[in-house]
Structure 1
Amino acid sequence: MSEGRRSRRCRGAGVVAGAVLATAGCLTLVACGSGGGKSSGSTSFSPRPSPPATASFSGTAPSALSSAASSAVASARASASAAASSASARASEFEASVSAQTERANAAARKELDKVQGRGNAASDVSLTGMPRSEVGGLLALHVNIRNSSDKAASFAVQVDFRDSSGKVVESRYVGAEKVKPGETVHPVVISHEPPEPKLKAEVAKAQRY
């Protein structure tokens, strides 16, 4: 082999060896810089917590929830009050269509029952029959069936109580019938002034023959 060719081969091997050493040196530097030693060249880093992203937040603040709940309660109360007022107005309108004589008999019945203790002497002579709500604008109305089981003409006073599902009396209405003949049955009407809902149950609380 000629001297010149051997010289070029040696120079090539030296270049490759130099490249390998340079690469190893870089790896060594990287390893030292990223290690956990006490080298003054390393830098400590404490990540700062990122604030929560609120751009897409769609919840309702507690104060707003409270306000919404209060508004809902107020709306429900207003609706209930309006329903009660409407029912009372319609009941009064229906009752206004009856004769003045019936109005007077009902007023006399209430006055008479104020003096009665217990259920009265004619409770067994009185029963109730419901009326179709379509006939009285959706209200709760009943026929009060009063039978004069005595042998002479008599007047009657009846108190009808309306109870809710818990049994509590929420309303009392009064009807009267005057000069009912012996053996005769009359059918005055009693109407609740309460809203149609919740449903109420009617019962004869007092009935007095006088």
Structure 2
Amino acid sequence: MPVHATTRTGGRRLAAAALVLVTAAACVTTLASCDTGDGDGATRTPFSPRPTPPDTSSFSGTPPSALASADASARASASAAASSASAAASSFEASVSAETARANQAAAAQLKKVSGGGNAKADVSLTGKPRAQTGGLLAVVVTITNRTDQEASYAIQVDFTDPSGKVVESRFVGAEDLAPGAKAQPLAISRKPADPVLTPRVAKAQRY
């Protein structure tokens, strides 16, 4: 009886040891299959690294947006257009001859002596000139007709009024030594902005 008990006990011990060995071998095999080393015969698991996002901590400022670029371009275009319009207006005014400028000064001096509307309003009419031809300025053609039977000179004051009727600017034009039945057409030019819209009217007209 003792012999058989010892045999069974030894068999169980051998079986347990074998199980431990088999388990250890399985673990070694599993580890070997995951090896990524450079040894021969090693099984490698494919590795695909994920892209690393850029480090924005060193960025300075922000890139210009499409809207900001378009706005800058619009401002540049508007500035260029304003400069061009100003140059066109100056060129138009410069086209007025020195003789016309002298006559206008004489008209202003003459009208200082006149009270009321003067004696020749019926001889004067106003016609608007297209802004496309004046560099954007408000300009009117002052048509003066000598309706008398003798030579005469004229002095005209043109007032520019806003929508409320307030006079915001006055210009003086004149024509000297106009023959009977003859006409003169000087220009009265306003330098005020296009808005609000101004209305020109003959404030004074004196024949002398």
Same fold judged by TM-score > 0.5?
yes
Give the conservation status (yes or no) of the 8 Å contact 1:161–1:204.
Answer: yes
Pairing 1:56-71 to 2, within 5 Å after superposition:
none
Give the conservation status (yes or no) of the 8 Å contact 1:141–1:191.
Answer: yes
Quote the Cα distance in structure 1 between the aligned partners of 2:163 and 2:132: 23
| Paired position in structure 2 for 1:173 | 171
Quote the Cα distance in structure 1 between the aligned partners of 2:124 and 2:167: 19
Pairing 1:7-26 to 2, within 5 Å after superposition:
none
Quote the Cα distance in structure 2 between the aligned partners of 1:125 and 1:87: 34
Quote the Cα distance in structure 1 between the aligned partners of 2:90 and 2:152: 28
Deviations 1:84-142 (A, max 9, x none): xx988865542322211101000000000010010001011001000011000111111
| Paired position in structure 2 for 1:139 | 137
Percent of aligned pairs sharing the same letter: 63
Give the conservation status (yes or no) of the 8 Å contact 2:173–2:188.
Answer: yes
Q: Name the SS for the 1:166 alignment partner.
A: coil
- RMSD, aligned α-carbons: 2.1
Rg (Cα) greater in structure? 2
Quote the Cα distance in structure 1 between the aligned partners of 2:87 and 2:116: 32
Deviations 1:169-206 (A, max 9, x none): 00000001111110111111111110111100000000
Give the conservation status (yes or no) of the 8 Å contact 1:141–1:189.
Answer: yes
Count the aligned residue pairs. Answer: 127
> What is the aligned counterpart of 1:113 among 99, 111, 114?
111
The one-letter amino acid paired with 2:163 is S
Pairing 1:29-48 to 2, within 5 Å after superposition:
none
Q: Name the SS for the 2:136 alignment partner.
A: coil
Q: Name the SS for the 1:109 alignment partner.
A: helix
| Paired position in structure 2 for 1:154 | 152
Q: Name the SS for the 1:182 alignment partner.
A: coil
> What is the aligned counterpart of 2:201 among 197, 200, 203?
203
- Cα 1:89–1:119 shift into 2, 3 Å: farther
Quote the Cα distance in structure 1 between the aligned partners of 2:177 and 2:195: 36
Unmatched 5+ stretches in structure 1: 1-82
Q: Name the SS for the 2:169 alignment partner.
A: strand
Quote the Cα distance in structure 2 between the aligned partners of 1:202 and 1:133: 14
Q: TM-score with structure 2 length normalisation?
A: 0.57
Quote the Cα distance in structure 2 between the aligned partners of 1:180 and 1:208: 13
User: Are 1:98 and 2:96 matched, yes or no?
Assistant: yes
Quote the Cα distance in structure 1 between the aligned partners of 2:145 and 2:100: 17
- Cα 1:205–1:90 shift into 2, 3 Å: farther
